[in-house]
Amino acid sequence: MADKQNVKESEVDKNLALQRILLEQEKERTKQAKQRAKEKLAEQRTKQAEQRAKEAEQLARIEVARTEQLRLEKQKRDDENKERSKLMKTIDGQFISISTSALKLLIDESGYYDKFVAPYLYPIDIVPLLNDNNINVTNDMINIFAKHFNPLKSCGKIVEDTVQFVFDQAIEELFTTFKMYTSLNYLSTRRKFYLNGLAPGCTFIYKSIKIDQNDEHEALQDFAVCLGELKSTLKESLEDKSWIGQLMRYLDLLLEIQNREKVYGFLTNVQYIRFYCVEKNQNSPFNNYYHSKDFNMFFMPSASSSRADTLQLNKNAKQRVFNIDTMELFIKFLTMNASFYEYRTLNIDPDESLLSDTFYIKTRLGNGATSMVYELVRNDYNQSPDYSKLRAIKISKAPEHEPCFKNEVKILKQLESSDNFKLFYENVLNSSPTGKFIIFENLLFELQSLTLIQSKQFIDIIESLYNCRIIHRDIRPQNLMLDKKCERLKLIDFGYAATFEINQETKQLPIEGVISYAGLKFFSTLLLNPVMVCCYEYERTFDLPCAINLIMYMTDNDVKEKLRSFKDLQSIQERMGAAYSYWLDRKNKNKNYADLLNLIDNSQGSPDFGLIKNEIETYFNMLH
């Protein structure tokens, strides 16, 4: 019995010992877990501290850059003030400062010549420049002017209306008959106040462009290549300061509006013609002006010339004699190679059709970094107005943007096979094979804000792109448009879009497009690099946070005002730093916004676009 009792007690002792061991092990595991949690917390705090240190370092770099920028701005203002001090006007014994641009608007033509032109006017020999023309000026060309200039041979006084009519008829016939030899088209614009409220007598555009002067709104000024001014014979000399000042004002305006470097023009009173060139001076608010010598368009009866008598229209002593040499020079001016005219505003090939046989350009719809967009109207629109007769044409600003245009056409071609293509995207009607322009089937309209339905449509578009393995990379308000025919939101401008291969989730690409609405990962990656990087590893979901941020921008005025204020910051680093801080702060303080971002960041594979649209609906409910 005693042995059995001892055995039983021994087993109890063993059990107790085992329980003590298990308890000690559990305590040890608990201790280790607490230690690991403590270490993890410490590690998190260390990372947070490091992150804060990096952010503080970044902010410090931004502040240093900002300080330097402020210094440079102050220096620039000081320099500008010195320049403005040269333009002082006395009123009632007091001096007031007037800017160059404001003074140009206030002053009359004679004063314009005295103040802005005469001190910077230099001679130029135009003949060698025009002799570079490869066109052989024929008698048939000259005879066109000889025929139409017949009313001008009289030695009597000829009014401007008559001069204008004669030049209109002659130039139009020359361009119609010898269209293959010129890059230009002619418009008589004496009574068309298209140039900042002013009306040059002669306007030349490229022959591939068609503009209805009676139905254009702020479009013609973008396409003017060179100008001319026609005067009466009441004054025998071209030295009238008001005439010169008037033409130079026109040419200056063209330089300013088109942001050009150089522009040509001519001034004539029938007896003489003089050529002008205005060139922007990068180191001064004043342009440089160049004038040729005066060329006789007619000889008086007593004059002689080796070629003047060959086409003498009338040998009566009271009539002028047509000067063939000058007319040949004028025809050369009108038939120079397109590069001579230095038109760089839009990337236009005069020989490449922009459907000008069917459509004319009416008004400018948009002005972007790489292109301008215009409304195209079918020629018979005014006879039977119909929305279906309206199109949109996007024209590139420079040859370096041609790859973007070709890429846009390529991407839209890829998207044609996707579901809801006509609801989400714009169909290409025609395009330049070299990437100079794209003509779209429908006319779209800008949006100032977004409704809940439109915001959900926007997410549907992003989902469509995701499923097609395409990212847009240029999400911004100007690229969200409304198609009024179907009342649907459409995404445009795929110049920077990129495609992903199957199973490819990221792709390193040059940083392009607007980045103001990019996600936090994009900003943090760039800001934490000491040297500004030029490439980024784009995610397939890159457009999604951009779309969410843009929805916030277009539905919340506070967000809009804040982001717009960043444009005042001078450097790209400052703007990125401000945007990153703003969106990070919004994520920390706004649960709905944080939930939207988490749906993207925590998604395994494809994001749940349905849940994202639900969260956007929650956001709209909070707004109202």
Residue 521's domain is classified under what CATH number?
A: 1.10.510.10
Contact 343, 197 (CB under 8 A): no
Q: What is the per-residue DSSP string for 278-307?
A: EE--TTSSSPEEEE---EESEE-TT---TT
User: Residue 66: its pLDDT value, please?
Assistant: 53
Classify residue 292: in a domain, yes or no.
Answer: yes
Q: What is the CATH number of the domain that holds 403?
A: 3.30.200.20
Classify residue 414: in a domain, yes or no.
Answer: yes
E runs forming strands in 254-379: 262-268, 272-279, 288-291, 295-296, 298-299, 321-322, 359-367, 371-378
Low-confidence residues in the chain, pLDDT < 50 = 84-98, 303-306, 308-317
Distance, CA of 391 to CA of 374 (rounded, Å): 9
Cα of 527 vs its chain's centroid, Å: 27
Residue at token pair 């459509």: 359
User: Residue 72: its pLDDT value, please?
Assistant: 62
User: Residue 48: its pLDDT value, please?
Assistant: 65
Pair 420, 518 in one domain: no
Contact 441, 426 (CB under 8 A): yes
Q: What is the sign of the dihedral through the CA atoms of 296, 302, 305 and 308? A: positive
User: Residue 70: its pLDDT value, please?
Assistant: 55
Pair 436, 329 in one domain: no
Domain edge (last residue) among 416, 443, 470: 443
Residue at token pair 């179907």: 486
User: Residue 80: its pLDDT value, please?
Assistant: 54
Which amino acid makes up residue 310? T
Q: What is the pLDDT of residues 364-401, one digit of tens each?
A: 999 988 999 999 999 887 777 777 789 999 999 999 99
Classify residue 352: in a domain, yes or no.
Answer: yes
DSSP 8-state assignment for residue 416: T
Nearest 5°: the CA angle 380, 383, 389 is 45
| β-strands 121-123, 288-291 pairing | parallel
Pair 549, 569 in one domain: yes
User: Residue 581: its pLDDT value, please?
Assistant: 93
Q: Does the annotation list 394 as a binding residue?
A: yes
Pair 473, 563 in one domain: yes
What is the count of structural domains for the chain?
Answer: 4
Q: Is 389 exposed, middle or buried (0-12, 13-18, 19+ CB in 10 A)?
A: middle
Classify residue 235: in a domain, yes or no.
Answer: yes
Nearest one of 176, 164, 175, 171 to 147, comparing CA atoms:
171
Pair 501, 582 in one domain: yes
- Cα separations (Å) of 222 from 109, 229, 375, 501? 23, 19, 13, 41
DSSP 8-state assignment for residue 149: T
Which amino acid makes up residue 134? N
Q: Residue 429's domain spans which residues?
A: 346-443
Pair 255, 321 in one domain: yes
- Cα separations (Å) of 299 from 84, 323, 324, 342, 488? 47, 6, 10, 32, 67
Classify residue 30: in a domain, yes or no.
Answer: no
Distance, CA of 202 to CA of 167 (rounded, Å): 9
Domain edge (last residue) among 35, 68, 97: 97
451 Ramachandran zone, left/alpha/beta (phi>0; psi -120 to 50): beta
User: Residue 38: its pLDDT value, please?
Assistant: 77
Pair 431, 450 in one domain: no
Statement: the pTM of the whole predicted model exceeds 0.75:
yes
Beta bridge mates, 89: 96
Orientation of helix 591-601 relative to helix 609-623, angle to 10°: 170
Pair 330, 352 in one domain: no
User: Residue 53: its pLDDT value, please?
Assistant: 62
Which amino acid makes up residue 464? S
Distance, CA of 178 to CA of 181 (rounded, Å): 6
Pair 246, 375 in one domain: no
Classify residue 493: in a domain, yes or no.
Answer: yes
Classify residue 61: in a domain, yes or no.
Answer: yes
Classify residue 43: in a domain, yes or no.
Answer: no
Nearest one of 549, 621, 539 to 584, comparing CA atoms:
549
User: Residue 100: its pLDDT value, please?
Assistant: 59
Residue at token pair 């006509």: 422
Pair 109, 83 in one domain: no
Strand, coil or helix: 498: strand
Which amino acid makes up residue 185? N
Domain edge (last residue) among 315, 341, 367: 341
Nearest one of 398, 404, 396, 362 to 379, comparing CA atoms:
362
Pair 458, 426 in one domain: no
Distance, CA of 602 to CA of 595 (rounded, Å): 10
Distance, CA of 250 to CA of 263 (rounded, Å): 10
User: Residue 87: its pLDDT value, please?
Assistant: 46
Nearest one of 554, 560, 525 to 542, comparing CA atoms:
525
Pair 402, 311 in one domain: no
